[in-house]
Amino acid sequence: MSLLTLLADAAVELGFAAPSAIFTSTDPTVKLLRVIASKEGKDLARRFDWQILQKEGTFTTVAAETQVAAVTTTFSDFGHIVNGSMWDRTESRQVRGPLTPDGWQQKKAATAQITVGHYFRIRGGALLFFSTPPAGNTIYFEYIGTKWCQSSALVAQTDWAADADTALIDEEIIRLGVVWRYRKAKGFDYGEDFRTYEMALADVFGPDAGRSTVDMTGVDMDLGLGVNLAEGSWSL
C-alpha cells in the first residue's frame, strides 16, 4: 500500500474526499495527514522491536570504558539495541544491559567488585562497558533500525518522501494511527478510534515480537559489599 493509498483510505474514513496526490497537494487537511503519518511511522518504529527492522552489529572491544564513541554513526540507521541480544563471542557470555543511570553509578561506586561478565549502557551517544573488558573480544548484538519505510525503488528511508513510498512496518496500523491522531489534533472524540488502534496493534505486534521475556538487567542485584551477582531473564 502506497502512502497515497494509505492516506486516501484514512481520508475517506474521516469523511473527506480521497486526495489524488499527497506531496504536491496544497490542501491543509492533506498536509496535516502527511505530517501525522510521518509521526505515526516514527513512533511505531521507535516503540517496538519490529522483526523487519532488526539488524546485526558487531565491534571489537578495547581495554577502556568507551567501546563505541558514536553508536549512531558507527552502525547504519541505529535506533536501539534489542534487549538481551548483546553477546561476547570470545568469552561466550552475555553482555547485560542496558543499565539504568542509577544501576551504572551504583556499580561504579562499589568498593569491592566480583563481576561475572560485563554490563553496558549508552550515554551521550557512546556505548560504555563495565567492567573494562580485555582488548580484542568480538561483540555481536541486534538492533532496531530507523528506516521504517521505502521508496518505489525499494530504498529504505527514515521518513516518507513521495506518494509512492510504502511502509516496511504494518500499514493498517499506520492508517488507524493516522485516524485517531487526526481526530485528536482537531479536538474531536478519538477514544473509540484509539481503542481500535491499540487492539489492532496488539494483534499485529504479538506474533511479530516473538517470545517476550522479562529482563532483569535493569535491576541491580549487588550485595551491600559491592559483590555483583549474575542476573538473568525469566520467560513470561
Classify residue 2 by its DSSP letter. B
Residue 117: its pLDDT value, please? 75
Residue 5: its pLDDT value, please? 98
Q: What is the pLDDT along the chain (236 residues), one digit of tens a residue?
A: 999 999 999 999 999 999 999 999 999 999 999 999 999 999 999 988 899 999 999 999 999 999 999 998 899 899 999 999 999 999 999 999 999 999 999 888 875 656 667 999 999 999 999 989 999 999 999 999 999 999 999 999 999 999 999 999 999 999 999 999 999 999 999 999 999 999 998 888 765 544 433 333 333 333 333 333 334 443 43
Spell 176-210 as b/e; 16+ CB within 10 A means b: bbbbbbbbeeeeeebeebbeebeebbeebbeeeee
Residue 113: its pLDDT value, please? 59
